[in-house]
Amino acid sequence: MVRFSATRYDEIAQRLGYRFIDKALLRHALTHASTRNASDDYERLEFLGDRVLGLVIAEELFRLNPDQREGHMAARHSQLVRGETCAEAGRALGLGEFLVMGASERSKGLALNGTVMGDVVEALIGGIYLDGGLEAARGFILSNWKPMMEKPSGHEKDAKTFLQEWALGRALPIPAYRVVKREGPEHAPVFDVAVDVAGHLAAEGTGKSKRIAEQEAASHFLQREKIRQ
């Protein structure tokens, strides 16, 4: 089993802003499967931490945005709980130096890999939840997610990106685009494109290219459903 020195535990606690009572949970959260000890890696804690993160972020968005519609909060939630955002939090904490993994994997730079870093952060959240309860996990999340939550919201994003994140935030399939009609000469075509979102009527858009028409279709859908005006 992986072990850290007392000094190492202190260093990690200072970095996290949380001191584990059950140090085995911390070891599990920082241990990659490449150590080939399936009972000692972070994957089970990652599963739990992902759910705790989702709950805390959803509650915070609900509290901070009393006038926002569900659709906007769902899209914002999707941004804040995705792996890239977790990895950003992990890099800011400098967690890469504490990860336990096989020598070959570390030499390949896996300790700084975005997917691995995101998974480790979720595992740490799961570990903190088991060790100190929901309030401890909430404190860790809100402290480390504050910079991301203060960034401009999804209103800065183009319509297609916003619609995709909204759909994923509701556990829907990625919106599908299809050309309904093409008119005009070869050198100046005009496209009619429809976007299909599960459980909703299609919305259409028109443009001088498929890309423009897709953006128009996504924008019309968001406006019609009163998700983004």
Residues noted as catalytic = 50, 122
Tell me the chain's radius of gyration from C-alpha atoms: 22
Contacts of 48 (CB under 8 A, 6+ apart): 125, 126, 129, 130
Closest by Cα among 11, 47, 16 to 141: 16
The region that residue 21 occupies, defined by phi over 0 for left and psi between -120 and 50 for alpha, beta otherwise, is alpha
The answer to whether 36 and 102 are in contact (CB under 8 A) is yes
Decide if 215 contacts 204 (C-beta within 8 A): no
Backbone angles phi, psi at 17, to 5 degrees: 75, 20
Instruction: Return the SS3 of 157.
Output: coil
